[in-house]
Structure 1
Amino acid sequence: MNERILQQCEELMKKGSTSFYKAFNFLPSPRREAVHVIYAFCRIIDDSVDEPDSSPYSIHELKAHFRDLEEADGHFIWPALRWLFSSFPQLQREPFHLQMEGQIRDLSFTRYETMEQLKSYCYLVAGTVGEMLLPVLRDDQNEAARAAGISLGIGMQLVNIIRDVGEDLRRGRRYVPLEVMERQGYSQQELEAGEVNEPFIAVLQELRAEALHWFEKGLENVHTYPWESGMSIELAAAFYAAILDAVEADGYDVFHKRSYVSDEAKLKLFRRTVVRYTGITTVVV
């Protein structure tokens, strides 16, 4: 395997999510490189739908190339994926196919009515990532761990949905289920006007509670992973859950700003988790 190909995947992950990059940087090789490849492909899939003008492929081209992976060329992701599947033969291709199907749904299904519909979508675009990572982060195929990985992915996607309400609205999408809005007395008209009021805050708080429920399920058996993998999972979950606090600190105004976790807050989470796992108190970030 050309090391430069794996480095390009690493660079894409480092550029796309410094939080995830830091969270998984403690993994030993080749687990670490495998996470870089999975992240890079998922990033390219996501960009093919959300940023089509700057994406190297359309989502349909990605599907076709992935289906004929052994012959695919023209981009570093294809040899990287071939390395991934040869290095981790227990890794199945089905979650990757489902991930792409979930992104294709974004092209036509843009209004969610129920939490059940939203959960199905969250599984396709994020729960599948948990399934992809499972054979990379641990050596056994544990069904409880698989379910937990899916749960964590669903929780993370719910955080994305909370944070990106305004951004998604500008793209013509409403992931916030209508049944939640109606339950809290918040209308579609208020949503389109970007009104942050008590009913809207109640909507986001309900979604926040749902996300935290999935996080709790997702971390139930983290202790059964190799310690480096368990620490990486906890770090990723902590970084993501902290976005919810950032949204609250911003007054739930997800229409006009994108909430971020400060570097200082990330550093505290990072050190706290690393110390608990390793006992090392002087951590270089």
Structure 2
Amino acid sequence: MSGLRSELDAAGITDPRLRSSYRAARELNAVHGRTYYLATLLLPRWKRPHVHALYGFARYADEIVDDLDSTLTDEAKAQWLRQWGNRFLTALATGSVGVGVGVGVDGSGAGSVGAGDAGVLPAVLHTIRRFDLPVAYFEAFLTSMAMDLTVTGYATWDDLMVYVHGSAVVIGLQMLPILEPVDASAEAYARDLGAAFQLANFLRDVGEDLRRGRVYLPQTSLDLFGVTRERLATGVVDGPVRRLLTHEIARARELFRSARPGIRLLHPTSRDCLWTAFHLYGDILDEIERADYQILDRRVSVGLGRRLTVATPALIRATRSRRHPSTS
């Protein structure tokens, strides 16, 4: 907890209610976003609470859609997401967080991520105002989360990218002011990096998403290789499935390559955070290949040893960059 206190102190966050909210967001990041959280630790202390807040907002909405009480229907989840999103947008417009913002889906606050005295919204609202983040980014995100409750597949790559814009690209754009770009062209690279991270997650979670009734691979790709949902549901990775996954991994890697130059357009104290996330999310694709594409009945992950191998030298570099800042 002393680490959290030092982060909040460095960010100039003194209000007890705000500190409680930032704490809730940090806990979400630590529990659910191992790679994301590890990378965040490479940022200067004052930036970390704001990254936690944005992650907490995204994760809480994702929990409403995917991980809350399984007895809830999609219609009930959609209603709760609308209510929570409307409270957020109203609070953003009025400057007041209403009663119940952090309670659970049943109104009790019990057993739900982000529940508690404050919840994550005060922190994210504070971060939005501090960095003057456009409301449109958050509206687009909520729209994509709602799509998860009604859309089970995407006909084309362009259709999928509509969803990805709201689910991932805008998150990269939300993060950008906190990371302090040194050139306006960094925005285009942030868009590609957000999409690359999302595609890596899609590929890692093909089997898990399929069991939820969703496929985040374009139908045109499935058709190209003669793969159907029914074929994926068998859990058998045969030649057509392997070729499909190879094709989609190559597409994801192209986005990683496109995004890579943008990391140097960030403030030196932010670069090691992004380099770490870049390598570890990219490693998901390597792990899929290492597992011989056996991802329909299991979830591959980047091991702790690899995460530490990437993060430890980055931590040393990040510490040095804070002591000797440079814009080069």
Contact residue 192 and residue 256 of structure 2 kept, 8 A: yes
Aligned to 1:59: 81
| CA 68–279 in structure 1, closer or farther in 2 if over 3 Å, else same | closer
Q: Which deviates the most, 72-81 or 157-166?
A: 72-81
Aligned-residue CA RMSD (Å): 2.2
Aligned to 2:8: none
Q: Aligned match of 1:237 in 261, 272, 278? A: 278
Q: Distance in 2 between matches of 1:192 and 1:30?
A: 46
1:1-285 alignment, distance < 5 Å: 1-2=15-16, 3-53=19-69, 58-69=80-91, 70-73=95-98, 74=100, 75=102, 76-89=119-132, 91-138=133-180, 142-274=183-315
Q: Which deviates the most, 142-151 or 239-248?
A: 142-151
Q: Which deviates the most, 192-201 or 259-268?
A: 192-201
Q: Distance in 2 between matches of 1:68 and 1:20?
A: 29
Contact residue 232 and residue 296 of structure 2 kept, 8 A: no
Q: CA deviation at 1:228?
A: 2.0
Deviation digits for residues 183-209 of structure 1 (CA, Å, limit 9, x no counterpart): 223233312222201211111111111
Q: Distance in 2 between matches of 1:50 and 1:86?
A: 29
| CA 28–273 in structure 1, closer or farther in 2 if over 3 Å, else same | closer
Deviation digits for residues 85-114 of structure 1 (CA, Å, limit 9, x no counterpart): 23223x212111101101111111111121
Q: Distance in 1 between matches of 2:27 and 2:173?
A: 23
Q: Which deviates the most, 114-123 or 270-279?
A: 270-279
Deviation digits for residues 60-84 of structure 1 (CA, Å, limit 9, x no counterpart): 1221111111232432222212321
With the length of structure 1 as denominator, give the TM-score of the two structures.
0.90
* Equivalent residue letter for 1:77: V
Percent sequence identity over matched residues?
Answer: 28
Contact residue 159 and residue 244 of structure 1 kept, 8 A: yes
Larger CA Rg, structure 1 vs 2: 2
Structure 2: runs of 5 or more not aligned: 1-14, 103-118, 322-328
Contact residue 49 and residue 58 of structure 1 kept, 8 A: no
Contact residue 50 and residue 127 of structure 2 kept, 8 A: yes
Q: Distance in 1 between matches of 2:209 and 2:259?
A: 26
Q: Distance in 2 between matches of 1:111 and 1:153?
A: 20
Structure 1: runs of 5 or more not aligned: 281-285
Q: Distance in 2 between matches of 1:241 and 1:153?
A: 12
Deviation digits for residues 142-197 of structure 1 (CA, Å, limit 9, x no counterpart): 54211111111111111111111111111111111121122223233312222201
Partner SS, residue 20 of structure 1: helix
Q: CA deviation at 1:53?
A: 2.2
Q: CA deviation at 1:52?
A: 3.4
Q: Distance in 2 between matches of 1:95 and 1:200?
A: 35
Partner SS, residue 294 of structure 2: coil
Contact residue 144 and residue 167 of structure 2 kept, 8 A: yes
Q: Distance in 2 between matches of 1:206 and 1:96?
A: 31
Q: Distance in 1 between matches of 2:302 and 2:208?
A: 18
Deviation digits for residues 197-232 of structure 1 (CA, Å, limit 9, x no counterpart): 121111111111111111122222211211121111
Q: Distance in 1 between matches of 2:83 and 2:315?
A: 41
Q: CA deviation at 1:120?
A: 1.8
Partner SS, residue 264 of structure 1: helix
Aligned to 1:283: none
Count of residue pairs the alignment pairs up? 278
Q: Distance in 1 between matches of 2:69 and 2:165?
A: 26
Contact residue 27 and residue 229 of structure 1 kept, 8 A: yes
* Equivalent residue letter for 1:162: L
